[in-house]
Structure 1
């Protein structure tokens, strides 16, 4: 009995749940199968979870929306701050570029103005320097003006300040190099830094040119004054008259401190005055009969008392004699006008020339006369040929200098002429 009962229990099937609903005489029953129960449980759980989620969303919706709005506002503020920073940076860069451009234009204008000044100075100096350098007495070692600085056309905008300013000078095609300045630039230098370095180099070059110009003007003026003084001293040391003292005794003028720079126009005016003084001194020297009438010929007899060559008694010699062969040229010792040209007693064939300042010169014992009375002659011009006409013992040139008709020693004139010949 026991075994059969256990087998029945072990093999018993689970019956589905049955729901019985009784209402009066009516009785209804429903069989609930396991899968239906599972489905209904799952649906109920889903509804419950959905309800909880909906309730939670409704409760937390404002917080979620507020958090999202705040996050979006923070992102928007960050973007706006970044945009403002970039805009400020752009404004700073633009302002700096405008400032650099204005500064560059100012510097370029200054450079062009200085270059224009140098050009005007060159035009102002050209005729004066032509007068100065044409004079043989001025030193040949005077430094010549340096070439005008030009901007190389091949430079980039960062290298060429004229291109940075939108202008290029007319002479920009000529080369101008500041390689030392460019090589000294650092790798991290900006275009403005490189332009500043280039401007500094250009300014130094222009300043050097101005300094050289002033130095040359000063040197030429000093040389002209020294030459004029040398001519004057040579004439005065020989006892020859010089018209006017040219302001040697009179001194004065405004007080100018030693450290104050002297302007360009003042220097040019000083040079002009020095050249005028030199020209006057040259004319003063050239009007005097100081040239040698027989260059390269020895003096055979000097001025003064001597033994007469024919009588052997003491006699006054009113001139000096130059030993020269017949036919050697006799030259005028200064510019003047021929007042006599012909035979004149013991002088033989003679030419007398009248000079300024009351001076006259006589050239006697000529073998041939090459000029006529009233003819104007220049310094060094041949006026006849050496001979032995008149009262003479042999071929020679008798040379006299007279002032207001009185004979004076020609030797001091010749000494003075020898000293100043290199200046004339």
Structure 2
């Protein structure tokens, strides 16, 4: 039983003083006093114990679920990291493969361009022996782009680096493609220029050969074509031959013809033996100045003072150099193909028999020796011993001045 003081309220909850608890068991009676703070502390302890019990019970119940969730979260994080690493490794492999492919493409393109450049150089070597002195072989136009061997290095192309865009937004591979396009255009322009030069040179060779033949024909001189059979017609290349090879063949044919007619023309005595001196007597029948009777004048006479130079009118070999009757001091030159020239009435002879001379070389000095009425140069042209009109040769020489 519990005892309380009369002044206290009957309700335990409203009691401000301590409570006395009496426990009677038979003859034994015990009592103790319960203070309010002690009751409150005991209640708090009991509540804490109950809370701890339920918390421990809940933890034990949910521990497996929490551990499973943590393990799953760690596994998901690990899987995400592995996926990221695999993605990065794949990207690296892809970039490396792309760079290796780009490098292979660059090397192939460089090799192709080098082969084309070597081919162009070889074409010039084919042209060199064909062209005469006045017709130079066409040379490739200078490339305005990066040299072929330095394209990859100039672009900084390396297989182990990533393709970084340049300032204009283009990757190095794109820059390499642009450079190769420019080089291809440049080489194509060189090839086009070479074909154009071949066409021009062929046309010039035929035009020059025709001009030489026309000039010689107008002077009554014929050119031997050195052809066994009469053939001709336009040149139609076969389908399997390249444009350059066919044009080289056509140019070679044109240059052969030009060389042939030029060689024959230069072997003819076409120069003037006394340039600047007037002709005082022409070829043909005239009145003999000493006898006063008609006579054949086998050459032409140039008015010249004693000591004026007399020059060879073409290359040849001196076959006579000395006194020759009415010719006085005379020089005769054999020019081949039956042609010969004579220079008479010289006061001085500057060559000797057997000597090789060329056109324009001084062979003596004009004078008044032999059957002559005054200082002058008597000049003759002969074909197989027969006298020809030298004016025809002088006319042809003037016409051929621009061709030879």
Q: TM-score range by the shorter chain?
A: 0.7 to 0.9
| Structure 2 length-normalised TM | 0.82
- Pair 1:361–1:158, CA change in 2 (3 A): closer
Q: CA deviation at 1:123?
A: 4.8
Which residue of the partner structure matches residue 220 of structure 1?
201
Q: Deviations over 1:17-52 (max 9, x none)?
A: 233333332222222222221111111111111222
Which residue of the partner structure matches residue 162 of structure 2?
none
Which residue of the partner structure matches residue 18 of structure 1?
20
Which residue of the partner structure matches residue 39 of structure 2?
37
Q: CA deviation at 1:212?
A: 2.9
Which residue of the partner structure matches residue 107 of structure 2?
105
Secondary structure at 2:333 match in 1: strand
Distance 1:165 1:412 in 2: 75
Aligned positions, number: 387
Q: CA deviation at 1:340?
A: 2.8
**Are the equivalent residues in 1 in contact too, given 2:299–2:378 (CA < 8 A)?**
yes
- Pair 1:52–1:226, CA change in 2 (3 A): same
- Pair 1:221–1:36, CA change in 2 (3 A): same
Q: Which stretch has the larger CA shift, 102-111 or 185-194?
A: 185-194
Distance 1:89 1:212 in 2: 47
Which residue of the partner structure matches residue 234 of structure 1?
215
- Pair 1:152–1:116, CA change in 2 (3 A): closer
Which residue of the partner structure matches residue 208 of structure 1?
189
Which residue of the partner structure matches residue 160 of structure 1?
154
**Are the equivalent residues in 2 in contact too, given 1:159–1:194 (CA < 8 A)?**
no
Q: CA deviation at 1:256?
A: 4.5
- Pair 1:38–1:98, CA change in 2 (3 A): same
Q: CA deviation at 1:211?
A: 2.9
- Pair 1:152–1:347, CA change in 2 (3 A): closer
Q: Deviations over 1:99-155 (max 9, x none)?
A: 212112222222333333344445555x448x54x32xx59xx975433567479x9
Q: Deviations over 1:383-411 (max 9, x none)?
A: 22212223322222111112222112111
What root-mean-square deviation, in Å, do the aligned CA atoms of Structure 1 and Structure 2 show?
Answer: 3.4
Q: Which runs of 5+ in 1 are unaligned?
A: 1-7, 167-184
Q: Deviations over 1:233-267 (max 9, x none)?
A: 2223322232225688433665447xx9612x544
Q: Which stretch has the larger CA shift, 369-378 or 291-300?
A: 369-378
Distance 1:152 1:378 in 2: 48
Q: Which runs of 5+ in 2 are unaligned?
A: 1-5, 160-165
